[in-house]
Structure 1
């Protein structure tokens, strides 16, 4: 009796193996690139996928954004400064067919392309531009990468320069430059203040010259300020015009 059920048992095992090999389940962010006898036959998913065992093969592709850390690159800027630069690359697959068929390993290819593009673009700019214009450099690198990876079915969404490492001598040189720049700004601000003060003094002199009584009021105000200070020394300001008259009078007597 047991031998009579053996063929059915074998058929049941074969059916289970067949179903196990034929059924695939893909998540919402996954797609399956299907090949039938080695030829591309379509992209399927998400959900339940049924394949013909031993005839069809499927390669899973993840459509989520991939975050890739670009290794530090030795870059020589246009002003001959050696720096180490690393970045973060964000990309995703928009065409699973091209990502699997057009390139052997899209992850490695994108990483190598990002490294070479990073060195090429930054090498055309000076160090000051790398430090102050990162947004513009990020946009330029992203545009080049996006154009190159479009044929692979990959969309580069963003790239961000993380760190720019300088040697100690260059750090000291930049610090000296920043200190000199601060001193220059301080001198310019001081000179502008002196210029504005001189302009106000000239304007005040013109106003006082129009009204002689105003000069007397300023004279009394100065005496009041001196008297309010607890000092044994009293200074009496003498108008310059009076000194001029005295000098003129002594000259005429001679």
Structure 2
């Protein structure tokens, strides 16, 4: 099927243009904020005020970490030669793994400042992250970027910059698995299962769940042309997801010996 004729610019305001990509980030962050406020009522920490105060830190960590992660992990030579383009985030080019590291750093500083444990905060904070992932992947689709590999399936899409052959709409696969499905899994364990109250379990579940979803999606996603495949046919996205998978599983296993909060 042909790619839907959707302008990546949602709104023109005089000389300014509001991109769907930017709107997706705003909606994702606001969705995370409202969901985290609701979830924080079910846990002793963090408080609603902590969530309110952290949202600025979260934006800083996501945007700065995501952009620097893309620059350093994916195209360091190019951006070091064109440093001004590092600021042009409206053209795309954000790394989830970089954003994850950015948020980890900001949570560490924020939690220490508020006198609470890192995992106490991250267990609640991570549950709403799939909301942002969902809208971010939808924005990738609207931008016609990060498309999938060539396919003969009936739902293949001919992307504007993907050549004449249909490709997997891998952005939509990721929106479902990294976003919608992971969100419902996280919500179930956070609200219905006593495991959700074991310190570190939800953080581990999110890291492992995202890593599995991303590694799987990478089998359908076209690797970046400037990187291609690495040894054994693996991609950069799969390589970067392995540490998250390992640490997530470690946290989940570790919580078997931890106390279950009432």
Could you say which structure has the higher helix fraction? 2
Could you say which structure has the higher strand fraction? 1
TM range (shorter): under 0.3
Q: Max radius of gyration: which structure?
A: 1
Specify which structure has the bigger relative contact order, considering alpha-carbon pairs within 8 angstroms and separated by 6 or more residues.
Answer: 2
Please give the TM-score of this superposition, normalised by the length of structure 2: 0.23
